[in-house]
Structure 1
Amino acid sequence: MHRFSTPWGDLDLTRYPAEPREQLRAWDAADDYLLRHLAENPPAPGGTTVVLGDRWGALATALAERRPVQVSDSFLGQQATRANLRRIGAEDRVRLLSPQDTRAEPPERVDLLLVRVPRNLALLEDQLHALSPAVHRDTVVVGTGMVTEIHTSTLALFERILGPTVTSLAVRKARLIHCTPDPDLPRTPGPWPLRYALPDGIGPMSGRTVTNHAGVFCADRLDLGTRLLLAHLPRREGPDRVIDLGCGNGVVGTAAAVANPDSDVLFTDESYQAVASAEATFRDNADAATAAEFLVADAATGVPAGSADLVLNNPPFHSHRATSDSSARRMFATARAALRPGGELWVVGNRHLGYHVRLRRLFGNCEVVASDPKFVVLRAVRRPPRG
């Protein structure tokens, strides 16, 4: 836990899940810059405040008195926000929504729009399109991000969707974005979700179509690691319980379902956009009789212990812009707990990440199934308990 000094008092904030050894904070200079700007230039009281992309709830927690709506694609980010709000007794003051919620039921009016620029500009584009009908001429729009996150393309998105946009001077390597809404701009539909056909030579999903909502990893193409895993998926028959862990657009779990229609597949990811993509990909490709579940969650937490036969995983190694193996470690540990004795975890990752070391430590075994100069597919088996 780290203390964040805001213009309205100090806050003790954590990421989620909170890890005592983790040195990454739940806020950065961009969050601080935005809050200090609002303190010096207070918006009119009342009205509807919407906070986009608030990574760990620093903005929503600091502004809880305004009763904002926080829109986040991250389940972990929402859990962090809940924990941080609970710490100040303000859990009921912030409404937490996902991009899927705002797509289905966009707010009628937005009076203050605060945007923490996401790493993925496609997600920003999709969210601005969803909210633009609710933005009016008097809406105050302020974005924030580190200088490495705000590019000409970022400003162009605000300009094209909302109105004229300028940036501030940099302070502690952070900038603000100021946008003046222009209600007369033509309202054009956003390009998301995006669908594309997969290449040949990748097993059961060859030539099939996948669906990608904005913000999903490699939303416009099949990444090389997943391609390697798809080409070497285990051949199984019968009523397997399969988990596509960190499912992204669901191509891996759907491949398992297409190859074995008797399987029962759980697609899970911490991204709401990913799980929505996975469901669309599965519905378009799998046999109607194949059972599937779709779960937004923290890794495989919530999956009954000892219930899975096979877990398929392509873990991320970034937390926003920070390189971290914390997600992979949590995925491996929760996957092991979810597997039956004899159940298998198949992982694809960059060779340099050394996942085999951690898997051997956790499972007591690990073998290389396939590799190329950049990626490796690993298999670990949960051994039956001794005695």
Structure 2
Amino acid sequence: MTSHYFDPDPNTPSRTATVPLLLPDLHLTLTTDRGVFSPDRIDLGTRILLETVPPPPDRGTLLDLGCGYGPIALTLARRAPHATVVGVDTNRRALALARHNAEANAVPNVRFLPAPGPGETPDPLLRGPFAALWSNPPIRIGKQALHTLLATWLSRLEAGAHAHLVVQKNLGADSLHRWLEESGHPTERVASRAGYRILRTTRQP
């Protein structure tokens, strides 16, 4: 059976590697592995998000939804050292890598937690409210599952807080934009580059 990056326990044989994350304001070396999202390089959409989005709030709790091995969460934590950053994912292999990467890169203000399943009580840090949400969301889980996922976590933003999402145009960025609007999440496209859209949605009071 084929393993996916959003599976809780990928059955793909492990083969670790390292990838650099080079941005104007930081340099991280991240350990990756097979069975997680984009193990061979920092995904282009993730890079565009990190190069495009304004600095995060410097206080509060910040969320990386679908954190993988940690590039977005670790960038948030470096850019907002007085905030608490939470990375959440279903993939336990990815979470273990993210925790290793936080320690290896000396980033203390970040925690990586498993996404709670149906009926499970979430860790208190996952209940919000969140001062910001950044995500390269798992589009390939399917439209309905994605909509449910986003509706759940966007509802945990503070009033007036922003979520920034990067979505590839040919994987449904524009239809997701419409769905967000129709679902009561005012959304604007704040950047478009290399076939990716950066969408910003704001939690209403």
TM-score (norm 2): 0.84
The answer (yes or no) to whether the contact 1:211–1:281 under 8 Å persists in 2 is yes
1:297-326, CA deviations, whole angstroms, 9 ceiling, x for partnerless residues? Answer: 158x8321x51111111112224xxxx223
Larger Rg: 1
1:325 aligned onto 2:143: yes
1:274 aligned onto 2:103: no
Give the alignment of 1:111-126 within 5 angstroms. Answer: 123-126=11-14
Query: Equivalents in 1 of 2:56, 2:83: separation in Å?
Result: 9
Matched residue of 1:379: which SS? strand
Relative contact order (C-alpha < 8 Å, sep 6+): which is higher?
A: 2
- Partner residue of 2:115? 297
| Residues 327 and 247 of structure 1: CA distance in aligned 2, closer, same or farther (over 3 Å) | farther
1:74 aligned onto 2:13: no
Q: Which amino acid aligns with 1:238?
A: D
TM-score (norm 1): 0.46
Query: Equivalents in 1 of 2:79, 2:104: separation in Å?
Result: 15
Q: Among residues 192, 197, 201, which one is paired with 1:371 in the alignment?
A: 192
Measured after TM superposition, the shift of residue 246 of structure 1 is 0.4
- Partner residue of 2:59? 239
Ranges of 4+ aligned residues in structure 1 off by more than 6 Å: none
- Partner residue of 2:17? 194
Measured after TM superposition, the shift of residue 125 of structure 1 is 2.3
Matched residue of 1:124: which SS? coil
Matched residue of 1:360: which SS? helix
Q: Which amino acid aligns with 2:19?
A: Y
- Partner residue of 1:210? 30
Query: Equivalents in 2 of 1:341, 1:327: separation in Å?
Result: 24
| Residues 272 and 125 of structure 1: CA distance in aligned 2, closer, same or farther (over 3 Å) | same
Query: Equivalents in 1 of 2:52, 2:116: separation in Å?
Result: 27
| Residues 254 and 204 of structure 1: CA distance in aligned 2, closer, same or farther (over 3 Å) | farther
Q: Which amino acid aligns with 2:45?
A: G
Give the alignment of 1:144-293 within 5 angstroms. Answer: 192-198=15-21, 200=22, 202-205=23-26, 207-288=27-108, 290=109, 292-293=110-111
The answer (yes or no) to whether the contact 1:258–1:285 under 8 Å persists in 2 is no
Give the alignment of 1:12-31 within 5 angstroms. Answer: none
Matched residue of 2:81: which SS? coil
Query: Equivalents in 2 of 1:275, 1:363: separation in Å?
Result: 31
Aligned length: 196
Matched residue of 1:376: which SS? strand
Measured after TM superposition, the shift of residue 226 of structure 1 is 0.6
Measured after TM superposition, the shift of residue 213 of structure 1 is 2.7
Measured after TM superposition, the shift of residue 294 of structure 1 is 1.6
Matched residue of 2:155: which SS? helix
RMSD over aligned CA atoms reads 2.6
| Residues 364 and 217 of structure 1: CA distance in aligned 2, closer, same or farther (over 3 Å) | closer
Give the alignment of 1:312-351 within 5 angstroms. Answer: 312-319=134-141, 324-351=142-169
Measured after TM superposition, the shift of residue 197 of structure 1 is 1.6
| Residues 281 and 327 of structure 1: CA distance in aligned 2, closer, same or farther (over 3 Å) | farther
Matched residue of 1:219: which SS? coil
| Residues 363 and 344 of structure 1: CA distance in aligned 2, closer, same or farther (over 3 Å) | farther
- Partner residue of 1:8? none
Q: Which amino acid aligns with 1:308?
A: F
Matched residue of 1:208: which SS? strand
Measured after TM superposition, the shift of residue 262 of structure 1 is 0.6
The answer (yes or no) to whether the contact 1:346–1:377 under 8 Å persists in 2 is yes
Q: Which amino acid aligns with 2:135?
A: N
1:142-195, CA deviations, whole angstroms, 9 ceiling, x for partnerless residues? Answer: xxxxxxxxxxxxxxxxxxxxxxxxxxxxxxxxxxxxxxxxxxxxxxxxxx3221
| Residues 238 and 124 of structure 1: CA distance in aligned 2, closer, same or farther (over 3 Å) | closer
1:109-168, CA deviations, whole angstroms, 9 ceiling, x for partnerless residues? Answer: xxxxxxxxxxxxxx5222xxxxxxxxxxxxxxxxxxxxxxxxxxxxxxxxxxxxxxxxxx
